[in-house]
Structures are given as C-alpha cells and as structure tokens.
Structure 1
Amino acid sequence: MKVLHIVEALGGGVTSALREYISATSADAEHFVAGRPRPTHGTGDDLGAPSVRELPSKLSPVRMVAAVEDAVRRTRPDVVHVHSSWAGAYARASLRVPADRVVYTPHCFGFERTDLSRAHRLALYRAEHLLARRTAGVAAVSPREAALAARLGVRRVAYVPQVVSLPGWALRERAAAAEQPGEHGPRYVTAGRICPQKDPAFFAATARELLRSRPDAEVVWLGGGTPQDEERLRSIGVRVTGWIERSALLGELARADVYVHSAAWEGSPMTILEAAELGVPVVARRIAALESLGVRRLERTPSALASTAEETAKDPQSAGVGLDLAAVHNSAAQREALLGLYEQVASSAR
C-alpha cells in the first residue's frame, strides 16, 4: 500500500505525530511525504519516509493545489493522508485528487479556535462540512476530534491515539532527577510555539501566581515566538528557551517537577504525552479536547491552575502523571486504528 502524506506546515507537533504514524505502519505501507517545512520549528526528527518532497514555500492557494496534484500524480498513492486544515483544504478542493482516497487528520479543527469571531468560526465549520463530502475518512487524534468529524458527516471516522517514542537517555535522566531532590524551588515547564493557541497570557497569569507564592520557583517556556511575545514572558520571570529541537526539549522536560499546559484549544498535544511518558505530573487548562483524552488535573482559571500545580509539586505521587498512556496511547493501538482505516479506504477505492 502506498500512502502519500500532505503537510502544509511541516514542523512542531505535526512532524512528531507523522513520525509515529510512519513508524507504526511501515511494515505494511510505503510512505511518501510532500510538505512545506517550517525551518524555525524543526524538531530534528527523521521521518523515516523514503521520499520527502518539499512543497514550495511561497505559492498562492491555486498554485499550492497544483503542487499537491503534482505530488499525487507522481506518487500514485492508494491513500492520500492530509494533515491539518490548509493541507486538508488544498487536497480536497482539487477534483484531480481522488476523494475516495483522502484520509484527513485535522490536528484540531480550525473552527475550534477561540481567537476568531463567531462568524469566522461558523464559516470554517461550513467549509469543513462541505469538504467532508470529499473525505473518505478521518484519522482523529482525540475522541473530541472524532465526535466533531462524525457530526460533520464524514463517512469513516477512526480515533487514532497519538504515541510518543522516548529515547532511553531521557527516561534515565528523568529517573536520576526524581532520585535527587533539588536544592532549588519547584520547576514548572510548558512547551510549544508562543502563539494564540497556547494562550501565553493565560500562562503568564499562571506564572505570576506561581512566582508570587514561591519566588524561588523556576517557570520555563520551552519554545519561542516573536521577540515581543518572548519578552512579555521574560519580563515577569519566565525563562524562554527559544525554539529547540526535540532532544533538547526532552532533556529540559525530564528535569521538570510539573508540566503546565495553558492552551485555549488543542487536538492532542504531543508535549503532554511526552511529559506523561516521562512520569512528569501534568496539570492543564480545562478544554474539551483534554477532557476527552482523560487528562485528570484540569482547571478553568490561571489561579486555579497555579494552585493545582503547586499542590502537585508538593505531592507528585498523589497526582499521577495525568494520563493513562498504557491502555490507549501505545504503538499497537495506533497501528491497528490507522492501518484499519487505510485498508478500508484503499479497498473501497479500488
């Protein structure tokens, strides 16, 4: 089976997720990638695909559709797996991309964005509803995303749990950090691009509460954004690393006391899974996607999130890691769900 992945923005969590998809199904499918790299958001990941074709960095939507069509024509795939909203729109808008071969992973639907007006979100919902007619299946990253896809009328919907693969050194570093109580205050960490989705204002308000309660605490944002956004966080005492590769991120994360997630909307954030897999307690803002994933310690306000983070730092064992990875988020479950959807789509398209 040939699978062509179309990725409009190749970087960050989407790249990490794609790496796991390819790894989980490589014994049964030959993978190709056509993507537009984000050089400033590289993860250092090797996708493991035999062919990674770069889409042009600056093209109009019309020419981007043509570039996607060219990738499909050259590859002649059994399945066209499109990732995120823009790639989903480019591929499904083209009549030359067979609709009965398209698998779509939104990685969070655009109409979930809370920084847009109600009218804008409604327009995005209607666009997704129309494009659902040209979608053979949705590989959803959370139960929430699966429910939304079914509501849109997609014919086949599969919940494909996200999975993280951690190097042994990261697990050993975490074990060493847990065995050696620090002489400093608690270390609170978050990760991702500083952007509206991650709601840096919500995180900043949480950080102020944490630092007011414990001036010796360390609050860290692993990632970067505009110079102005980074400076706003630094001005209240947050250490901002700038964009770093995944290996550096894991090293920082392994030494954290609590992972604090402030996003206003999400699909299924890889950083939460990485923290949980390392055994770092997770506390997060209460949003629908994280509720559906079973994250346990969720709060609605910065003050409540800070309070829960402080309690968790004092007694991490009582909090658990915030997510039951073993039962759902493993390679076998991911492979079964993803390959099952691929096979259904490829068989029906023959």
Structure 2
Amino acid sequence: MNSAFFDGAADGGGDAGGMKLLIQTIENTSGLTIDHFVRVSLLGFYQLVKALGPIDVCLNQAAHDTNSGVDLPAGRSTLNASQALSFVRQRDGLPRGDLDREVRQQYFLSQEAREALSARTLLNPVKVADLLHGVGDAVQVDDTLSIPDLVSTFSHIDLSAIRSTTIPTAGTPTIDGYATVAVDFAAMPAFIQDIVGPPAAYTAASAADPSTVHVSVLNGAGTPGGATTASNALTAKGFVVGAPGDAPSTSTTVIEYPAGAEAQAKAVAAVVPGATPVMSTTVSGVTLVLGTDGHTVSTPAPAPAGGASSAPAAAPSAASHAAEPAPAPSKPVGDAYGAKGTCIN
C-alpha cells in the first residue's frame, strides 16, 4: 500500500496521483468500489484532540514505550493532544507491531467520531468552528467531498454499527531489507464476503444434487494428503470429483465457483461446515480450497463397536433438551469501537 502511494505520487503525480493509485490497488485487491477517501496524518490526530478536547481511552493492560512516548496504565485514561499522538504512534511493545498500531488508530478515530458527533459538539457553534478549522488543516478529502458534508453524513450513522478490521495477512517477510506485511490473497474473497454478505444469486439458489456437481479440491492448508482425503470424502457423498492438487498456503477454507454455479457451490458448502463460498472469475468449475483453519468435508460418526443395536435413540427429554447450550452467535468481522467503554489491548 505504501509503495502504491509512493509510485503514484512520483513523476509529478503528487498526493492526488498517490491516492489514485492507492485506491486502484485497494479496489483490485478487495473487489470493492471506493466512493470517497479521507486521509489523516499523524499530525491530524494531534489537531483533532486540540479541537475536540481530551479523549478517553481504555486499555486492557498498561502501555509503556519510550520510542513513542506512551505511558498509560491499564483501564481508563483521559489523553491530551500530546498523549493522544503518542498513543497512536506506538508500535514497539505491541504483539503485532504495525498491525496493532493500526488498531490503536482505528480505536482513536472511533472515539473521536463519537465525540465530534455528540450533541455537546454539534450544538456548540464555537466547538464546531474549532473542529472544522482543526480538521481542515489535518484531514485531506477527495474533490467531491467536503468536511461539512462528511460531518453531516456521519451524523446520521449509528457509530456502534461501524466495525474496524484488518485484512488477512500471511506473515511479515523482509524484502530488500524492508519489513513488510504480506497479504493473504487467497483468503481475501471470503474476508470481503463476510463484510458485505453473499451475492443475491447464491442466497436465492437451492443446493444441487451431488451427483450433478463436479468439484476439485486444492490443498492450501499444507496438511499432507489433505486434498486427497477430502476428495475421497466428497466421492463417498456422491460428488463427481476431479484430481486433487495443491494451492498457495491460505488461512481460510473457501469454495470458489464461477457465476452460474451457485447451486453446485451450495451443495458442496452443505458438506464442508465452516467453508465460505465465494464467486470467482479465476475458476471454471467449483473448487474447494482447504485452508489452515482446518475446515474440511464432514464425515459421519463411526458406527458403535461391539454390534450395538442400530435402533434409533430415544428422543431427548424436555429437561435434557433445555440443558443443551445455545449455539454460539456468529462472530462479526472486526471490532465495534463506537460503543462507549470499549477497551483494547
């Protein structure tokens, strides 16, 4: 991402050229369309706090770092502008380095957005003027957006519904002497779909009969024989299965399918719990890509040993049924930082 901005800004492109290439890179990587951009510099964090006043943050554990200057106890703290800048600059001492610094900045912006859009700010003309002046110096927006428009738009949004997240990564290799964060491109489609939801065509489709479904299995988990084992399990369930193969390592098990093969993909998804079906332009048929998350083709429980009776078990009593734990709710993508009192590591 940094390279995209630098390359776009080179040869006279300036910030506009850098932002254009950065947006194009993000769109190509995610498949999403970006309508507007807002750019905040580190100085911007400082100026936002100066305009809005001290900001409250909450940490699950104390943070001490001499490089950034952060020195905060566990629990709630009220930060002035200088402390806020140290807070969002911290990298050292965090388990994931830059990725956790990103969490710091996401959290900070969510807290500032809540303060900026509170009644005590919007109903105070002096504070609004200070905010617009401070933001105007610290924030860059595209030509089709203005700061007042941005404030007006966010004033109609439930901040608790906004979630911040980080794209899937595949390690931090050193390239040409520089530390980098590698993108897990194979996991990106499922990650994006978890955010925006499945296509309408997939939701509307009914699962096809397995005997009509041609599917191939690729091993992106690195488990020896994983693709062969999954292929055999699919064959046993009546699917028409191609030769197994390997894929680049990926963290997420996905079922890739071309447009028009939604019913076939849904049939495979029914027997691979936890896998995410994603439409893809790079496959010609339904393809199960196994990831390191461990999801694979479900297999029936083994028959009881010792010739046990095959008679159906008695239906559970009302009491035993009531004692069963409720299924865990699905985990949303990202963290909701809009709610007051949220703490981070």
Q: When the two structures are superposed, what TM-score results if normalisation uses the length of structure 2?
A: 0.29
Structure whose alpha-carbon radius of gyration is higher: 2
What is the TM-score of this pair, normalised by structure 1? 0.28
Structure with bigger helix share is 1
